[in-house]
Amino acid sequence: MRLRRPRTMFWRRTRSTKTRPSGGLSCSRRSPERRGYAESVPELPEVETVRARLEPVLTGRRFVRVEIADPRVTRPFDPAVVAVELEGETVAAVERRGKYLIVRFESGRSLLIHLRMTGSLRHATAGTLADDPYRRVVVRLDDGSDVAYRDVRRFGTWLLVEPGELEPYLSARLGGEPLDRTFTSRRLAER
């Protein structure tokens, strides 16, 4: 008896939209390879791409002014207090653990950013940020440029943690880092 791998279903547009009441959509079965999908999970590479884009922009820069327009971003902490605490901090490194972006400061503090579903970060030269009703945070850097955090659904979070609080916080919420060389099946079984 020959075992066959089940194929997934997907909708595709047919040439004729007049012959089908569904508007030209038909259901067919096709393997993921034939559809052009990769077998990997997209979220981790997405956050890593954001980190790689931000690292050269932020590393070595100082936060001159921070405007937090949405109190949900820093909940349960007061956004005005968080903004004042962030001002004057100099970025030492930009890292990623799981889906968290970690902005490490020279003071030892860290800013944890979780983009959630619709969060995004954009770097722009001074004065070039267009009006955006979904912009939640703007950070002015010491070179005059801005980094804007945009979140349509308002699910993203920013958390400022003190020195020594980062690892316990992440360890309680995350497993092993899949892109780390020490991530092995043995280590996964131990967890």
Spell out the domains of the chain, with CATH numbers in brackets: 7-39 (no CATH), 43-173 (3.20.190.10)
pLDDT of residue 151: 92
Residue with tokens 């972006």: 101
Q: What is the C-alpha separation between 42 and 27, in angstroms, rounded?
A: 24
pLDDT of residue 189: 77
pLDDT of residue 162: 96
Residue 85 vs residues 25, 64, 118, 147: alpha-carbon distances, Å = 54, 11, 26, 17
Mind listing the pLDDT tens digit for each residue in 11-47?
Answer: 444 454 444 444 444 444 444 444 443 443 346 788 8
pLDDT of residue 40: 38
Is the peptide bond preceding residue 71 cis, with omega within 30 degrees of 0?
A: no
Q: Which helix (DSSP H) or strand (DSSP E) does residue 47 occupy?
A: helix 43-58
